[in-house]
Amino acid sequence: MLRCVFSVASVLCLFAVSTNQATEDGLFPGNVAFHFTAPLYNVSIPENSVAKTYATQSPGAPRMGVPVTLNTFTDIRYKILGGNRDLFFKAEHRLVGDFCFLFIRIKTGNNDVLNRERKDKYILQVRATANIKEGNPKVQYSSETTVVVTVLDTNDLSPLFYPTEYNATVAEDTPIHQSILKVIAEDADLGRNGEIYYSFAEETDKFAIHPVTGVITLTRPLIYNEGTYHELKVHAQDRGIQSQSGFGFSVAQVHIRVKKVNLYAPEIRIRRHPSIVENSNADIYAIVNVSDRDSGIHGEIDKLEIVDGDPDGHFRIRPTRQKGEYNIEVLKLLDREKTPQGYQLQLRAVDKGTSPIVLCSSKVSPIKLTDWELLISNFDIFTLGLTLCIFPLGIPPRESYKSVPVQLADLNDNAPIFNKEIYDVKVPESAPVNTPLIRLKVSDPDDGRNAQVFLEIVGGNEGGEFHINPETGMLYTAVPLDAETKQFYSLTVSAIDQGNVGTRKQSSAKVISLRPRLLLVVGNIDGFQVKVYVEDTNDNDPIFDKSELTVWIDENMPAGTSVTTVHAKDRDRGENAYISYLIANLNKVPFEVDHFSGLIKTTQLLDYESMRREYVLRIRASDWGQPYRRQTEMEVTVKVRDINDNRPQFEKIDCVGNLPRHTPIGSEIITLSAIDFDSGNIISYRIVSGSEDNCFSIDSTSGTITVSCDLNDVRVSERELNVTATDNTHFADIAKVRFKLVNTKKNVFSSGRLLTDDTGTFDCKDTGVARRLTEVLAEAENNNGPLEVEDLPMMPTRYGQNVHSPEFIDFPIEIKVNESVLIGTILVRLKARDRDLGFNGELVYGISGGDSRSQFDVDMKTGDLKVIGYLDREKEYEYFLNVTVYDLGRPQKSSSRVLPITVLDVNDNAPKFEKSLASFRVTENALNGTAIFRANATDLDEGDNAKVTYSLATDTQDFAVDKTTGILTGNNIFSS
């Protein structure tokens, strides 16, 4: 017979086979079928079942047994072959129709019963045998199967405590709801039968037990004087139906001993003296009273000491003659400047409680469980490692702490101190009025009014060029600065605190102004210097020595002849004072000027007779300043002086004629006239040759030639006279007069009459000098007519006049800025324009008013408005700055606008309580939710930043505070 066996926890499969070999179709010889309906069956039976109790199958399980053919088999029997070592079970058969049922029941006559806690499953091997009614010899058939019998649990066991007695020592100050100990019971039943509920046998209001975990907690305070011992009985009961034994629970004894403790910590009360004045000889700062509400030794104070807040040992605690009274004494001189926050002494008071001694020992011991329910489950012996501790009833000392603030009253024992020795700053002289130069920072280690410092200019500011904000220390220009007028300023700035009169301390700083820049050196009263340098800007026009000048020059001087030298000065310095010159006349003039020296020279010959005899030159001087040049002009009148540079010229030359011999003496024969182009010259005539016999003479003024002898006596027939003219400097070319002496009849001429008959006429050659004189005179008249303004056009100046005033463009309506903005932040760039050119259109910006706290500055060149001081909305939430823009023209023009600035709030202030300390009394029967105290805090911020919410910083369940109203309420009933 083949058998397949698996582990106990698995299904055990036994294939039923017949003792006779079956054919391939499962039939035995003779086509007889005999076998179980299943190779394995599952049945269950309750534990502790009595004899003849049958095991049952679950609904839907296959019928347990062997199917038979009617009248085929006889004498069918079932027998348990194995798995029934304790003989608890018996197999029975019952034939119903064509099926022979197998039943498993409890066997009678047993001394023992099924116990699930000992064994919960049995695997039975069952054989079925049968005989065939007909046939000879008889054939016996058999088949085998496996029946798994599961023992069902019944609530036959009660919970079992281990151990059955518990001991605990509980201090009388143990808080309620504190766990004291845990009882443990076990029940070997299953399911609800094994679930345990714990309860007290008798009601108590001081203790509670958790029904499931068995943890015992305290529900009322323990008072040692009211009872030192408590005994409790704990029941453990399962949730099953009452057991057959009739006992539904087990009992454990709990013994609780109350330990007397040091209930109260010492109470510290302070009687403080007024604040200690620093550096005073105070001996006692405060009187401390320490008490303890405990009785006996627990109420005695062991010590009071300073445990924190006095690292340098300035204080000590000394007991007085009165019990529980101590003095806080000052041992050393106190300096508020070294500890500006004062001292926060931390006191600790300790009573005379006794510290407990705990003795512990570890041991490993074998423990054998003797419970019969465990023994029947075949549990092995196991080992427990125990640590045994002895807790004597020692009482630990209690301690309490108290903070004692020590405030030091300030003594005005320090003078203000300037924070730096040297400042280096530049300020252009074109800076507008009220331009911030530098913030003088002064500190005073004192406190309050003793540290409040005001600054003042006390010397060197006779002209009122500067002013200082006494509170902020910002130094400003008060008037336009002029480096050319005054290059050096020696200011004395005084810093004085606001302590009581008689205790005030003062420091000062000198300001020495030097030229190219501004340097500040601050110091105390011993004389640290503050140097101020004023930086030059191109704010001055060149100035000529004379605004008008008249000079003379001779005509006909060669080109390049020096006429005169003009000179201009500029009060500025450096390149701003370098000057170049030019002639501003647009019409061409025969002059030029050296750009650097100012020397005026001719560019061509000047002719008095044909050219202008007077020139008006506009000489312009320009400096080299940046970004624009400044310039000025002067008038130079150049007059041409006439010189005798022309020879007389005869109108007629080469005269030829006949002269009768009978011409009487004194008769005028011809007049030779000469012309001199020079103005005002007197011409005289003379006969150079041809009249050696003095027969002819010439009038030196008119040039008329007359007969001076009897011509009949002259032997020659022709004469040639050479005549010249002179202006006493130059001589004219020789004019020749040729004539023949002819014999004619006598005629009588009147004296002074020229010869007019045909025999006494002369023919001369015309030189054309008269016509040329007419032309020169006409040109001279044209060139020297009276001058009008339009006849003297000048080169226009580069920048013209300062006609227009500056005007702002895109000026902001309002600026909003957070009070947390960083110093140096640019808020806006102001823009302006001026339609003039050059310095007339060059603009500078300044704040002319509205900044009493020195919080803002505008860059004079770019117009950038920036923050230069810390803004605080709680001190000043709105500013109205008067912003002014100036041009640098002459005269200077300006324009102003008001700029509103709103400072926005940030959450930079913490809430502050009206009172930092509050005390109150509460009755012990106060109800939960009783209002005890209302805290009130305010916040200097605004809006959501000023909304205050309240919470408890102390971790406690006894109090609660309303987060909105600040009302403090109690959550428990208080004890007095």
Q: At CA 473, angle to CA 468 and CA 474, rounded to 5?
A: 65
Least confident of 324-338, 407-421, 497-511: 497-511
Report the predicted TM-score, pTM, of the whole model to 2 decimal places.
Answer: 0.51
Q: Which of 67, 47, 59, 36 is nearest to 147 (CA)?
A: 36
The string of DSSP codes covering 677-730 is -STTPPPEEEEEES-TTS-EEE-TTT-EEEE-S-GGG---SEEEEEEEEE-SS-
With cut-offs at 50, 70 and 90, classify the pLDDT of residue 617.
Answer: very high
84-109 tens-digit pLDDT: 888 889 999 998 888 899 999 988 88
pLDDT at 386: 41
Q: Residue 822: which residues within 8 A CB-CB, separation 6 or more?
A: 867
pLDDT at 859: 92
pLDDT at 168: 92
pLDDT at 579: 92
How far from 52 is each of 45, 48, 108, 147, 149, CA to CA, in Å? 11, 12, 7, 17, 15
258-282 tens-digit pLDDT: 887 777 889 999 887 667 777 777 6
Give the CA radius of gyration of the chain.
Answer: 71
Q: Which of 576, 569, 620 is nearest to 430 (CA)?
A: 576
Among 377-381, 535-539, 553-557, 643-647, the range of highest mean pLDDT? 553-557
pLDDT, the chain, mean: 80
* Dist CA 438 CA 520 (whole Å): 8
- One-letter amino acid for residue 712 of the chain: N
pLDDT at 218: 93
Least confident of 279-283, 495-499, 877-881: 279-283
With cut-offs at 50, 70 and 90, classify the pLDDT of residue 670.
Answer: very high
Assigned token pair, 829: 């760039």
628-638 tens-digit pLDDT: 788 889 999 99
Contact 395, 490 (CB under 8 A): no
Least confident of 58-72, 385-399, 612-626: 385-399
698-717 tens-digit pLDDT: 998 888 999 999 888 888 88
With cut-offs at 50, 70 and 90, classify the pLDDT of residue 358.
Answer: very low
Least confident of 274-283, 559-568, 641-650, 710-719: 274-283
Among 368-372, 605-609, 613-617, the range of highest mean pLDDT? 613-617
Which string of b and e fits 73-95 if b means at least 16 CB within 10 Å?
Answer: beebebebeebbeeebbbbebee
193-229 tens-digit pLDDT: 878 889 998 999 999 999 989 899 999 998 887 888 9
Task: Enumerate domains of the chain plus CATH numbers.
Answer: 40-152 (2.60.40.60), 160-259 (2.60.40.60), 267-353+401-409 (2.60.40.60), 417-535 (2.60.40.60), 543-641 (2.60.40.60), 652-765 (2.60.40.60), 807-902 (2.60.40.60), 907-976 (2.60.40.60)
Beta bridge partners of 236: 198, 250
pLDDT at 286: 87
With cut-offs at 50, 70 and 90, classify the pLDDT of residue 925.
Answer: low
- One-letter amino acid for residue 160 of the chain: L
Mean pLDDT of 753-779: 71
Assess whether pLDDT exceeds 80 at residue 32. no
With cut-offs at 50, 70 and 90, classify the pLDDT of residue 824.
Answer: very high
Share of the chain above pLDDT 70, in %: 83
Strands 548-554 and 579-583: unpaired
pLDDT at 531: 63
The string of DSSP codes covering 787-842 is PPGGGS-BPPPSS----PPPEEES--S-EEEETTPPTT-EEEE-EEE-SS-GGGT-
Assess whether pLDDT exceeds 90 at residue 847. yes
Assigned token pair, 774: 């007419």
Half-sphere exposure of residue 353, counting CA atoms within 13 Å on the CB side? 23
Least confident of 429-438, 526-535, 537-546, 758-767: 526-535
Select the more confidently predicted residue: 547 or 797: 547
Assess whether pLDDT exceeds 90 at residue 885. yes
With cut-offs at 50, 70 and 90, classify the pLDDT of residue 252.
Answer: very high
Determine the straight-line distance between the first and last CA of the chain, rounded to whole angstroms. 90
* Dist CA 820 CA 871 (whole Å): 7
Cis peptide bond prior to 590, omega within 30° of 0: no
pLDDT at 506: 63
Assess whether pLDDT exceeds 60 at residue 389. no
pLDDT at 791: 52
How many CB atoms lie under 10 A from the CB of residue 258?
Answer: 19
Cis peptide bond prior to 163, omega within 30° of 0: yes
Select the more confidently predicted residue: 875 or 915: 875
Q: Residue 322: which residues within 8 A CB-CB, separation 6 or more?
A: none
Q: Which of 467, 135, 406 is nearest to 284 (CA)?
A: 406
pLDDT at 845: 93
Assigned token pair, 716: 């020659």
Assess whether pLDDT exceeds 50 at residue 7. no
With cut-offs at 50, 70 and 90, classify the pLDDT of residue 746.
Answer: low
pLDDT at 18: 37
Which string of b and e fits 201-211 if b means at least 16 CB within 10 Å?
Answer: eeeeeebbbee
Share of the chain above pLDDT 90, in %: 28
Mean pLDDT of 843-862: 91
Q: Which of 480, 493, 486 is nearest to 515 (CA)?
A: 486
Among 200-209, 437-446, 638-647, the range of highest mean pLDDT? 200-209
Assess whether pLDDT exceeds 60 at residue 950. yes
Least confident of 67-71, 155-159, 219-223: 67-71
pLDDT at 790: 53
Assess whether pLDDT exceeds 80 at residue 674. yes
Q: Which of 250, 164, 254 is nearest to 218 (CA)?
A: 254
Least confident of 75-89, 308-322, 559-573, 751-765: 751-765
164-176 tens-digit pLDDT: 899 999 988 889 9
pLDDT at 970: 82
Least confident of 124-133, 481-490, 667-676: 481-490
* Dist CA 734 CA 721 (whole Å): 9
Mean pLDDT of 825-834: 93
pLDDT at 73: 67
Q: Is 920 exposed, middle or buried (0-12, 13-18, 19+ CB in 10 A)?
A: exposed
